[in-house]
Amino acid sequence: MDKSWSVSDRLTLRLEVEEFYANYIACLDEERFEQWPEFFTDDCFYQIIPRLNFERGLPMATWRSEGRGYLLDRITAIRKTSVYGPRYMRRIVSAVRLIEQSAEGFDARANYAAFETLPDEFTRVFSVGQSHDAFTRIDGALKLRRRVCVFDSELVPNSLVYPL
- Which residues sit at the interface with its own copies, rule CB under 8 A? 1, 7, 10-12, 14-16, 18-19, 21-23, 25-26, 29, 51, 88, 90-97, 109, 111, 113, 115, 117, 119-125, 127-130, 152-155, 157
DSSP letter at 65 equals: E
DSSP letter at 157 equals: P
Residue among 53 and 111 whose Cβ is closer to its own copies = 111
DSSP letter at 51 equals: H
Minimum separation from the CB atom of position 105 to its own copies (A): 17
Minimum separation from the CB atom of position 58 to its own copies (A): 16
Residue among 29 and 73 whose Cβ is closer to its own copies = 29
Residue among 81 and 122 whose Cβ is closer to its own copies = 122
Distance in angstroms (rounded) separating the CA atoms of residues 53 and 75: 26
| 151-161 per-residue burial string, b: 16 or more CB within 10 A, e: under 16 | beeeeeeeebb
Residue among 139 and 154 whose Cβ is closer to its own copies = 154
CA 79: distance to chain centroid? 19
Minimum separation from the CB atom of position 49 to its own copies (A): 14
Let me know: does 107 contact 132? Beta carbons within 8 Å: yes
Let me know: does 96 contact 108? Beta carbons within 8 Å: yes
Minimum separation from the CB atom of position 17 to its own copies (A): 11
Minimum separation from the CB atom of position 70 to its own copies (A): 25
Query: Which amino acid, 64?
Result: R
Residue among 55 and 66 whose Cβ is closer to its own copies = 55
